[in-house]
């Protein structure tokens, strides 16, 4: 099925989100839409999916103009969409979610055929190797598995074109690799994919064609062989430093000292096991690990959201174990949570209100028991400009912003006050290259101001680039603390739980074998 968008324009008041956009998606093609947060990518796809009416332009399928009055029309035409925030009901099973709205029935009474629903899920899952249990509850599945359910849901409705809106924003590296493999399988089966993203490596790895959108307009289309620096410049409209430039750290006295920290979760599972480390003033300690190895519990224990069963957390000599979240924040701890939607923002509050959540009862924002609207708005305008948050008004609900711009709001709030410790968990998740560059510079500036910085990230590139030391967590225990110059293969083995000395020995042996093989091959070729 050939899909074409001609001259699509969509306005929200004075904001032109899409400005006469042309796009063609050929049958069996993976077409990537690349652009910054707020560039208009998701808006364009919401027009295609029938969620928005275009103010101008038209959609064509196989050269025939069509008009969608809602997602039902788009689905009937063979277009499916997997949203960045999944549209699943947590207490329903996989099968129940997949057939929701078009349930198979049996008998004259119209009883829902759950066996038929399970069969649909199993057939699609087996065909593409999704490994999804039809009877599993959504709330018990990983994020990656929930995404596969969304894809199964679209395929069950005979989608010929699948829109994936920022599909890797909330995935671990392993889940991202699995998704890329799935996309290739879908392409091989004849499904066209529109892949919305701002991640250069992923788009170059899987796309057939890349269309770059900047501020609502198509800048140009490029092949996946285009250099990352060129794509980044097209996205942002200026040259972008894809690396991280920083001077060597000059650590001072220890600011954060964690000793013998152990945490048991609500299910009685030991999530942190006798964890001890220090972070000096003027240093970034980067915590590396596959998601689910105790990183969340570590951050939450320091903040006071989790109560340790053992251990001590000292911030400049002040014991934080037993202190509440409010007291910890008042002590000068900034916290960027890994899940901005549930822990970082209040979606129904305005952008301006979200920017003072931790300071709403203090001057200059509080006047007695009332807020000072002028001060709140002035603060918001300053932070929005400084962090380049794309919006129409600081009084808009924060839920109207893209995921990346919501993350900027969280970062602006937490990094715009005097800090004695900054904890940033997945600080660049969902951000584009320009925003990532800005955040990394702010993190390094915070370090250079003498703040101890604890970064938690599943992005190994980020950990190596930003960290002055790297702490590797595996199943709640520290595997080792190493410098960022540590070879990637050693770090990879440590992430799998291999102790540092064994990882180094294995990597050295592996390199030796490879070197000998390469030498023999070269000798044979020369002879």
Residue 214 clears pLDDT 80, i.e. is over it: yes
Cα(508)–Cα(512) distance, rounded to whole angstroms?
A: 6
Query: Average pLDDT, whole number, for the chain?
Result: 87
> Which range, of 337-341, 349-353, 449-453, 463-467, averages the lowest pLDDT?
337-341
Residue 520 clears pLDDT 50, i.e. is over it: no
Question: Nearest-CA neighbor of 262 among 249, 253, 254, 271?
Answer: 271
CATH number of 254-332+418-500: 3.40.50.300
Residue-wise pLDDT for 484-494, tens only, equals 988 888 888 88
What pLDDT, on the 0 to 100 scale, is given for residue 522? 33
Cα(218)–Cα(195) distance, rounded to whole angstroms?
A: 15
Cα(511)–Cα(505) distance, rounded to whole angstroms?
A: 10
What pLDDT, on the 0 to 100 scale, is given for residue 515? 37
What pLDDT, on the 0 to 100 scale, is given for residue 525? 37
What confidence category does residue 514 fall into, taking pLDDT thresholds of 50, 70 and 90?
A: very low
What confidence category does residue 516 fall into, taking pLDDT thresholds of 50, 70 and 90?
A: very low
Contact 407, 431 (CB under 8 A): yes
What confidence category does residue 54 fall into, taking pLDDT thresholds of 50, 70 and 90?
A: very high
Question: Nearest-CA neighbor of 420 among 522, 315, 296, 319?
Answer: 315
Residue-wise pLDDT for 276-287, tens only, equals 999 999 999 999
3-state secondary structure of 366: strand
Residue 106 clears pLDDT 90, i.e. is over it: no
Contact 39, 238 (CB under 8 A): no
> What is the per-residue burial (b if ≥16 Cβ within 10 Å, else e) of 358-373?
bbeeeeebbeeeebee
Residue 433 clears pLDDT 70, i.e. is over it: yes
Cα(125)–Cα(107) distance, rounded to whole angstroms?
A: 27
Contact 20, 57 (CB under 8 A): yes
CA distances from 80 to 76, 221, 381, 404, 518 (A): 9, 23, 38, 23, 48
> Which range, of 107-111, 431-435, 446-450, averages the lowest pLDDT?
107-111
What pLDDT, on the 0 to 100 scale, is given for residue 129? 80
Contact 474, 497 (CB under 8 A): yes
Cα(282)–Cα(256) distance, rounded to whole angstroms?
A: 11
Residue 481 clears pLDDT 90, i.e. is over it: yes
What pLDDT, on the 0 to 100 scale, is given for residue 108? 64
Question: Nearest-CA neighbor of 131 among 90, 81, 178, 190?
Answer: 178
What confidence category does residue 77 fall into, taking pLDDT thresholds of 50, 70 and 90?
A: very high
Contact 363, 410 (CB under 8 A): no
What pLDDT, on the 0 to 100 scale, is given for residue 170? 65
> Which range, of 52-61, 397-406, 411-420, averages the lowest pLDDT?
397-406
**What is the H or E stretch that residue 471 is in?**
strand 469-474
Residue-wise pLDDT for 365-378, tens only, equals 877 777 888 888 99
Strand pairing category for 105-106 and 111-112: antiparallel
What are the boundaries of each domain within the chain? Answer: 3-236, 254-332+418-500, 339-416
Residue 109 clears pLDDT 70, i.e. is over it: no
Contact 298, 243 (CB under 8 A): no
3-state secondary structure of 4: strand
CATH number of 3-236: 3.40.50.300
């Amino acid at each position: 099925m050939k899909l074409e968008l001609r001259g699509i324009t969509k306005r929200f008041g004075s904001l032109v989100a899409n400005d006469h956009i042309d796009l063609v998606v050929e049958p069996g093609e993976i077409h990537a839409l690349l652009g910054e947060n707020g560039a208009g990518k998701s808006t364009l796809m919401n027009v295609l999916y029938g969620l928005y009416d275009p103010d101008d332009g038209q959609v064509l399928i196989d050269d025939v103009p069509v008009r969608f009055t809602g997602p039902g029309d788009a689905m009937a035409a063979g277009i499916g969409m997997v949203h960045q925030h999944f549209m699943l009901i947590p207490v329903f099973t996989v099968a129940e979610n997949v057939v929701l709205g078009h349930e198979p029935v049996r008998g004259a009474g119209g009883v829902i055929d759950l066996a038929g629903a399970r069969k649909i899920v199993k057939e699609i899952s087996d065909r593409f190797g999704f490994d999804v249990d039809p009877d599993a509850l959504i709330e018990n599945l990983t994020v990656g598995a929930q995404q596969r359910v969304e894809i199964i849901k679209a395929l069950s409705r005979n989608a010929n074109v699948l829109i994936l809106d920022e599909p890797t924003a909330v995935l671990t590296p392993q889940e991202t690799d699995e998704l890329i493999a799935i996309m290739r399988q879908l392409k091989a089966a004849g499904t066209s994919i529109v892949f919305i993203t701002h991640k250069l490596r992923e788009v170059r790895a899987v796309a057939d064609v890349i269309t770059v959108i900047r501020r609502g307009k198509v800048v140009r289309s490029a092949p996946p062989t285009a250099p990352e620096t060129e794509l980044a410049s097209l996205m942002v409209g200026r040259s972008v430093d894809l690396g991280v430039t920083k001077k060597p750290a000059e650590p001072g006295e220890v600011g954060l000292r964690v000793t013998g920290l152990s945490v048991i979760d609500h299910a009685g599972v030991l999530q942190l096991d006798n964890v001890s480390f220090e972070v000096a003033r003027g240093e970034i300690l980067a915590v590396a690990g596959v998601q689910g190895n105790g990183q969340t519990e570590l951050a939450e224990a320091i903040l006071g959201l989790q109560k340790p069963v053992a251990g001590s957390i000292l911030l400049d000599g002040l014991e934080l174990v037993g202190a509440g979240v409010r007291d910890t924040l008042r002590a000068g701890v900034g916290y960027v949570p890994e899940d901005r939607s549930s822990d970082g923002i209040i979606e129904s509050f305005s952008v301006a209100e979200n920017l003072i959540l931790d300071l709403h009862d203090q001057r200059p924002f509080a006047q007695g028991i009332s807020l000072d609207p002028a001060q709140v708005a002035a603060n918001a305008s300053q932070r929005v400009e400084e962090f380049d948050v794309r919006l129409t008004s600081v009084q808009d609900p924060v839920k109207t912003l893209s995921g990346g711009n919501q993350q900027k709001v969280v970062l602006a709030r937490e990094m715009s006050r005097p800090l004695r410790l900054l904890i940033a968990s997945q600080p660049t998740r969902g951000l584009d290259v320009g925003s990532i560059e800005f955040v990394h510079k702010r993190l390094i500036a915070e370090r250079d101001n003498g703040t101890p910085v604890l970064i938690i990230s599943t992005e190994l590139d980020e950990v190596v680039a930003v960290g002055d030391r790297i702490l590797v967590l595996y199943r709640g225990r520290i595997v080792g603390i190493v410098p960022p110059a540590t070879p990637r293969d050693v770090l990879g083995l440590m992430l799998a739980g291999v102790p540092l000395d064994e990882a180094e020995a294995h990597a050295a042996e592996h390199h030796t074998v490879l070197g000998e093989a390469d030498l023999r091959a070269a000798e044979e070729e020369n002879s």
